[in-house]
């Protein structure tokens, strides 16, 4: 019975780094060849990284990506790898004028030193974080090719999430194995939805399916890998690692069967493990892909900054994380000792810069009190972090969580300063859960618990005035997060939320706060998306807006 | 010969203010009725304001907008205005589930107390600043209705910018007068392009065309009005005012002819007049629609802050503009006197807050020098402006121009602080042109020239170190703006720009600066778009991006 060994190469490209990305592809093809692979499948747009956003409109960019794809085919041939069919994603010109490109989102098959076939993505997602109707034009033809006695067809990502189009032709085309190139960003629970879709394709069209996803952080998106292979009966044969590069090898037979040839297998992990790893990978890749050596953040002794510091340590190692304790006259004793303890537990760098004298000086000269004096304290901390960043080259992390961002419970140009916001898409109640999970994970592995217990259990406070706690100003976080979930994630209206049993005055207040914080969110740092409705590209709202 | 009097009501709605917008519509219908109008045409989405962005996905919002439209029809009927056909734009539900709406962008005809017909926009723009493929689903039917013996058909904005669709049916439908509802934002030279399109519709389909645009600022967009009426031969009969509400009345006859009945006519203005008025209207509406009473800005004595102050004064009146001079030890004598003179010429409020002692304090304690000390100065100014804003309630204006924004020649959380950036889309060379134009305009009208001559003629400097001028760091602004025009507006690649005759090292440097400033632009304030490629929604680029 004829057999073919197929490799899924789950790589981590950098947007715009054509040479670096193709060097990585070359290494994966070589490794796969050494293990007997006859076909190597990569992710969507692996040549350019993904998403390329409006770079797709730049003719010089698309042309270079196309040329690089052809040059890569030649390089494989010269290296004696030309017998292998390599299937990878890249943009291609569909038209152009005066520097402006009209591009396809393509999958091409490379063999014998050239491009032997190309497929243009049919379904262009234009919802959530995606703007593909803006950036690409659609194709309408399925690509089917024969290789080592098997019939392969290629489709791309969204093509399997929508009905109709080339996917509907998989069966009629006699496809043995469908190759799906993906750039599918992580969201909690999305792994299960992908698996269901892949199984359905196999069952509906009678073909095995190899689903290869990208991995790595790109701005606010985290591609989680987790590539999937199912046989023609829809049974799962293999899954790639989550949050790491991987090479999965599968032997397919001509009866639609498939067997795992080699894979660094992992057992499926729980949601908190996945979220923690998404946040860690998102931060690590932002730092490394943008050429930073280290990060700096304020350590208040509170839960948000402790969790951000722990993520940073897991992402980068303790030497590359710099904490700054910036007490004021309103800082409690525990805020200092908890900050010290966080740094000690994580083994990260820590220094102390009091803001008291700066605050006193501005307050006196500008005659500030109340809110303007509270905001001033946060801004003094922002000035210090940015000064140390400018002086020493660290990326500044801002430690605000999703709940704060929603209701504007932060000082713009104060605690919001920074280039990256590690827990931007993590609501406050989930921050606590993650902290507890990370401590449990540490103790299960015989390691020091990274988050001080006191940072988890004490009532949260901004400490901008005497004896302040967050709940002076905000509803209890359980209630607040529930209302926000109804309003933002589920898009329920005011009346519908009240009908769920919430107090109407609280609901009105929360909706009002969300609305007037829009201008602050618009100026906020990016951070990794982990939910279906992350602030940023998922939710695009007018600032000027009188609807409540 | 049958005649009909048609009114084009060019109004200024606020996004989300359904009641306020319909109150304004009611007033315009009443005025039009008093002048004998039998049909009143409004702009695109006048019920909700435009663009509503992801509010279109919120079922409660779309439902309220639909209900408000029906209630408005009843209100007109009760007021004895039910004989008049009122044509206006609003969103309508095409489907929904669990709080999520799928919406049409509609034009409806109101008569006799109800909605007698609706048209759903066919061509949904999804380029530049538009995300309509994200926010709406397309319709495919032309709406034609008879009124007072004339056949009217309705289409919406983008429908006349693209071929095919319902527009192609205008002639076969026997249309006498095509009604076009628009939400078309201002760009330099766009008025001429719109006129060409409207004439072409008339010529190709043998019908008169009434093109009604919105007016007013909405976040980064400025709708400039400038509504157009052409007769069936394509001759221009009337144009609405630019940058102001207007009611244009036209008598159409059954031979395709048309005559101006009443209109506050203006002669066509030059580009600089248009740009100045776009900037002024954009700022005024942002301030008023968001409930601010006043604005505050730093006055450095330089050209950018002087022009922003003059725009603010023209937008709001001098009483509502607060300037702050914030000298440091590097500030030249002329920077203080020019700031004083700017304030005096404009009659705006001015105070002086020296940053010297604050800077000295931070510098000494944090041991800052070089770039970190330069940025510190800008950040001290940002802290002062934000403190005064928090204390006194002003909107902070940030005075950076498009050229600075392009190459990142600004301090984030320093001179970039603010909720609105009046000259964000004005390149530096155009800032000078505008200053000179505004002075000439003033002297032609017998008024004091608002911008000090010295602010226009002196070499620009950030004054963050001794004897600094911008050209120590940047290429001459003429050259820089030309390179940026080629790279950003025309999307030429590096090699193509060098082929135009620019020095390759300079081109590489500029492209590199543009790329590494992306994270700063992403955190910048919004400001009015006046070009086809404004930073913000027109140009969506990854931050993590190694392509140069």
Same domain, B468 and B323: yes
Residue B531 within a domain:
no
CA atoms within 13 A on the CB side of B241: 16
Q: Extract the runs of DSSP E, i.e. beta strands, from B299-352.
A: 321-325, 349-352
Joined together, the tokens standing for residue A449 give 């618990």
Compute the nearest-CA separation of B66 from chain A (Å): 14
Question: Shortest Cα distance from B328 to chain A (angstroms)?
Answer: 15
Q: Which residues of chain B have pLDDT under 70?
A: 262-269
Domain boundary among B265, B299, B332: B265
So what's the pLDDT on residue B542? 97
Of the candidates B353, B368, B386, the beta carbon closest to that of A379 is on B386
B387: nearest CB among A133, A372, A490: A372
| DSSP letter string, B253-270 | ETTS-EEEEE--------
Instruction: Residue B72: give its domain's CATH number.
Output: 3.60.110.10
B510 CB-side CA count, 13 A = 27
B150 to chain A, minimum CA–CA distance in Å? 38
Distance (Å, whole) CA A410 – CA A476? 17
Contact state of A361 with B358 under an 8 Å Cβ cutoff? yes
Locate B485 and state its tokens.
């025009």
**Domain shared by B325 and B204, yes or no:** no
B187 is catalytic: no
Q: Which residues of A touch B127 (CB under 8 A)?
A: 134
Spell out which residues of chain A touch residue B380, defining contact as CB-CB under 8 Å: 383
Same domain, B423 and B336: yes
* Neighbouring C-beta atoms of residue A174, cutoff 10 Å: 12
C-alpha distance from A117 to closest chain B C-alpha (Å) = 26
Residue A548 lies inside a defined structural domain of this protein: no
Q: What is the pLDDT, as a whole number, of residue A230?
A: 96
Question: Average pLDDT of each block of 10 consecutive residues along chain A (548 residues)?
Answer: 94 98 98 98 98 96 97 98 98 88 97 97 96 96 96 95 90 96 94 90 95 98 97 94 96 85 60 96 98 97 97 98 95 90 98 96 95 96 98 98 97 97 98 97 95 94 85 93 96 95 97 97 98 95 95
- Please return the burial class of A252, using the count of CB atoms within 10 Å of its CB with bins 0-12, 13-18 and 19+: buried
CA–CA distance, B121 with B110 (Å, rounded to integer)? 17
**Is A375–B358 a contact, with Cβ atoms under 8 angstroms apart?**
no
In whole angstroms, how far apart are CA B18 and each of A471, B27, B69?
34, 14, 9
Look at residue B266 in the predicted model and tell me its pLDDT.
44
Put simply, the answer to whether B491 touches A100 (Cβ < 8 Å) is yes
Across the interface, do B542 and A218 touch by the CB < 8 Å criterion? yes
User: Same domain, yes or no, for A65 and A204?
Assistant: yes
The question of whether B157 is a catalytic residue gets the answer: yes
- Type and span of the H or E element at B286: helix B271-289
Residues B235 and B347 occupy one common structural domain = no
Question: Is there a single domain that holds both residue B74 and residue B127?
Answer: yes
Per-residue tokens: B59: 């079922």
Q: Which residues of A touch B528 (CB under 8 A)?
A: none
Question: Looking at the domain assignment, is residue B508 inside a domain?
Answer: no
Q: Find chain A residues with C-beta within 8 A of B126's C-beta.
A: 126, 131, 133-134
To the nearest whole Å, the CA of B133 is away from the closest chain A CA by: 7
Active site amino acids of A = 44, 121, 157
Indicate yes or no: CB of B16 within 8 angstroms of CB of A539. Answer: no
Cβ of A544 within 8 Å of Cβ of B290? The answer is yes
pLDDT tens figures, A91-101: 999 998 777 89
Top residue of A133, A322, A388, A544 to mutate, by most chain B CBs within 10 Å, is A544
Residues B285 and B183 in one domain: no
Residue A315 confidence (pLDDT): 98
User: Distance from A10 to chain B by nearest Cα, in Å?
Assistant: 20
Flag whether A506 is in a domain: no
Q: Do A58 and B391 touch (CB under 8 A)?
A: no
Helix (H, G, I), strand (E, B) or coil at B306: helix
CB atoms A53 and B519 under 8 Å: no
Does residue A454 sit within a domain? yes
Helix ranges, B393-530 (H) = 402-407, 428-444, 453-457, 477-484, 494-499, 504-516, 518-522
Q: Are residues A115 and A216 in the same domain?
A: yes
Nearest to B29 by CA among B178, B230, B249: B249
Beta carbons of A544 and B54 less than 8 Å apart: no
Which DSSP letter does residue B225 get? Answer: B
Structure tokens at B265: 């006519």
Mutation to test the A interface, candidates B67, B296, B413, most A Cβ within 10 Å: B413
Across the beta sheet with B177-182, what order do the strands follow? B143-147, B150-156, B177-182, B208-213, B228-230, B236-239
Q: Do residues B52 and B115 both lie within one domain?
A: yes
| Closest residue in A to B365 (Cα–Cα) | A353
Last residue of a domain, one of A225, A244, A265: A265
Angle between helices A428-444 and A477-484 (to 10 degrees): 110
Residue B229 DSSP code: E
Residue of B nearest to A493 (CA): B60
Choosing among B497, B519, B543, which should be mutated to test the A contact, i.e. which has the most A CBs within 10 A? B543
Closest B-chain CA to A539: B54
CATH number at B406 reads 3.40.50.620
Residue among B51, B284, B390 with most chain A CBs within 10 A, to mutate? B390
Chain A residue with the nearest C-alpha to that of B493: A60
B367 counts as catalytic: no
Q: Would you give the DSSP letter of residue B542?
A: -
Give contacts of A372 with chain B, Cβ < 8 Å. Answer: 387, 390-391
Choose, from B25, B44, B313, B424, the residue flagged as catalytic. Answer: B44
Q: Rounded to a whole number, what is the distance in Å from the CA of B258 to chain A's nearest CA?
A: 38
Give residue for tokens 């009122």.
Answer: B86
User: Least CB-CB distance to A218: which of B524, B540, B544?
Assistant: B544
Domain end call among A231, A265, A299: A265
Contact A131 B127 (CB under 8 A): no
pLDDT at A2 (0 to 100): 85
Which residues from chain A sit within 8 angstroms of residue B490, using beta carbons? 98-99
Residues A178 and A114 in one domain: yes
B532, part of any domain: no
Q: State yes or no: cis peptide before A51, omega within 30 of 0.
A: yes
**How many angstroms separate the CA atoms of B428 and B461, rounded?**
13
Q: Which residues of B touch A365 (CB under 8 A)?
A: 353, 357
The helix/strand/coil state of B43 is coil
Nearest residue in chain A measured CA to CA from B21: A546
Separation of alpha carbons A310 and B403, rounded Å:
39
Asked if residue A290 and residue A247 are part of one domain, the reply reads no
Tokens representing A319?
A: 């030497």
Tokens of A469: 């706690």
Half-sphere exposure of B194 (CA within 13 A, CB side): 28
| Shortest Cα distance, chain B CAs vs residue A480, angstroms | 19
| Burial class of A478 by CB neighbour count within 10 A (0 to 12, 13 to 18, 19+) | exposed
Question: Most A CBs within 10 Å: which of B394, B526, B545, as the mutation test of the A interface?
Answer: B545
CB hemisphere CA count around A446 (13 angstroms): 0
Of residues B25, B106, B132, B157, which has the active-site annotation? B157
**Is B245:B11 a contact under the CB 8 Å cutoff?**
yes
Contact between B191 and B218 under an 8 Å Cβ cutoff? The reply is no
Q: Which of A374, A362, A395 is nearest to A291 (CA)?
A: A395
My answer on whether A169 and A79 are in the same domain is: yes
At A439, list the tokens: 């401590």
A305 domain-assigned:
yes
Q: Which chain A residues are within 8 Å of B326, Cβ to Cβ?
A: none
**Inter-chain touch A524–B523, beta carbons under 8 Å:** yes
- What is the ipTM for the molecules in this complex? 0.95
Chain A residues touching B522 at Cβ < 8 A = 526
Has residue A339 been placed in a domain? yes
Q: Which residue of B has its CA nearest to A60?
A: B493
The shortest C-alpha distance from B324 to chain A (Å) reads: 12
- Structural domain count of chain B: 2
Check residue A267 and give its pLDDT. Answer: 52
CB contact under 8 Å between A131 and B131, yes or no, is yes
Q: How far is CA B101 from CA A492, B56, B121, B250, B397, in A?
A: 11, 7, 17, 38, 36
Nearest Cβ partner for A491 among B100, B386, B526: B100
Chain-chain contact of A540 with B54 (C-beta, under 8 angstroms): yes
Q: Which residues, 6 or more positions from B242, have their beta carbon under 8 angstroms from its beta carbon?
A: B191, B224, B225, B226, B266, B269, B274, B277
Cβ neighbours of A267 (radius 10 Å): 5
Domain residues for B27? 3-265
């Amino acid at each position: 019975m004829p057999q073919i060994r197929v490799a899924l190469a789950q790589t981590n490209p950098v947007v715009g780094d054509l040479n670096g990305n193709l060097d990585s592809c070359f290494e994966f093809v070589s490794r796969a060849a050494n293990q007997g692979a006859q076909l190597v499948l990569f992710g969507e747009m692996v040549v350019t990284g993904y998403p390329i956003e409006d770079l797709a409109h730049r003719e010089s960019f698309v042309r270079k990506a196309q040329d690089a794809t052809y040059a890569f085919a030649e390089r494989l041939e010269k290296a004696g790898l030309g017998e292998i069919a390599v299937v990878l994603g890249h943009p291609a010109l569909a038209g152009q004028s005066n520097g402006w490109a009209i591009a396809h989102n393509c999958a091409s098959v490379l063999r014998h030193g050239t491009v032997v076939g190309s497929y243009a993505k049919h379904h262009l997602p234009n919802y959530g974080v995606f703007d593909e109707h803006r950036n690409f034009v659609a194709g309408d033809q399925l690509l089917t090719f024969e290789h080592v006695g098997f019939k392969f067809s290629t489709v791309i990502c969204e093509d399997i999430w929508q009905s109709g189009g080339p996917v509907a032709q998989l069966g009629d085309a006699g496809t043995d194995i469908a190759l799906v190139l993906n750039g599918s960003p992580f969201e909690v629970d999305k792994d299960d939805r992908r698996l269901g879709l892949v199984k359905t394709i196999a069952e509906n069209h009678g073909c095995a399916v190899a689903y290869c996803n990208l991995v790595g952080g790109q701005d606010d998106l985290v591609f989680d890998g987790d590539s999937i292979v199912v046989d023609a009966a829809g049974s799962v044969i293999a899954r790639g690692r989550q949050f790491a590069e991987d090479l999965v090898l599968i032997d397919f037979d001509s009866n639609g069967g498939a067997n795992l040839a080699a894979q660094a297998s992992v057992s499926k992990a729980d949601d908190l493990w996945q979220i923690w790893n998404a946040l860690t990978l998102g931060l690590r890749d932002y730092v490394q892909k943008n050429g930073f050596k280290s990060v700096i953040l304020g350590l208040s002794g509170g839960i948000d900054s402790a969790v951000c510091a722990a993520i940073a340590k897991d992402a980068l190692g303790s030497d590359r994380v710099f904490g700054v304790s910036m007490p004021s006259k309103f800082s409690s004793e525990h805020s200092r000792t908890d900050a010290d303890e966080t740094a000690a537990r994580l083994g990260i760098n820590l220094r102390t810069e009091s803001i008291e004298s700066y605050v006193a000086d501005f307050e006196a000269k500008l005659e500030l009190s109340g809110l303007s004096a509270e905001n001033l304290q946060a801004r003094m901390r922002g000035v210090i972090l940015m000064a140390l960043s400018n002086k020493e080259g660290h990326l500044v992390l801002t430690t605000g969580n999703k709940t704060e961002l929603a209701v504007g419970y932060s000082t713009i140009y104060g605690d919001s300063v920074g280039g990256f916001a590690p827990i931007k898409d993590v609501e406050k109640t989930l921050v606590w859960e993650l902290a507890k999970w990370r401590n449990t994970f540490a103790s299960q592995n015989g390691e020091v618990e990274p988050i001080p217990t006191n940072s988890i259990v004490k009532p949260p406070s901004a400490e901008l005035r005497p004896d302040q706690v967050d709940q002076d100003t905000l509803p209890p976080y359980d209630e607040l997060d529930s209302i926000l979930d109804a309003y933002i994630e589920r898009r329920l209206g005011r009346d519908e939320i009240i009908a769920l049993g919430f107090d109407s005055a609280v609901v009105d207040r929360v909706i009002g706060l969300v609305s007037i914080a829009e201008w602050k969110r618009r100026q906020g740092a990016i951070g990794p998306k982990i939910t279906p409705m992350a602030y940023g590209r998922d939710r695009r709202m007018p600032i000027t807006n009188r609807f409540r």
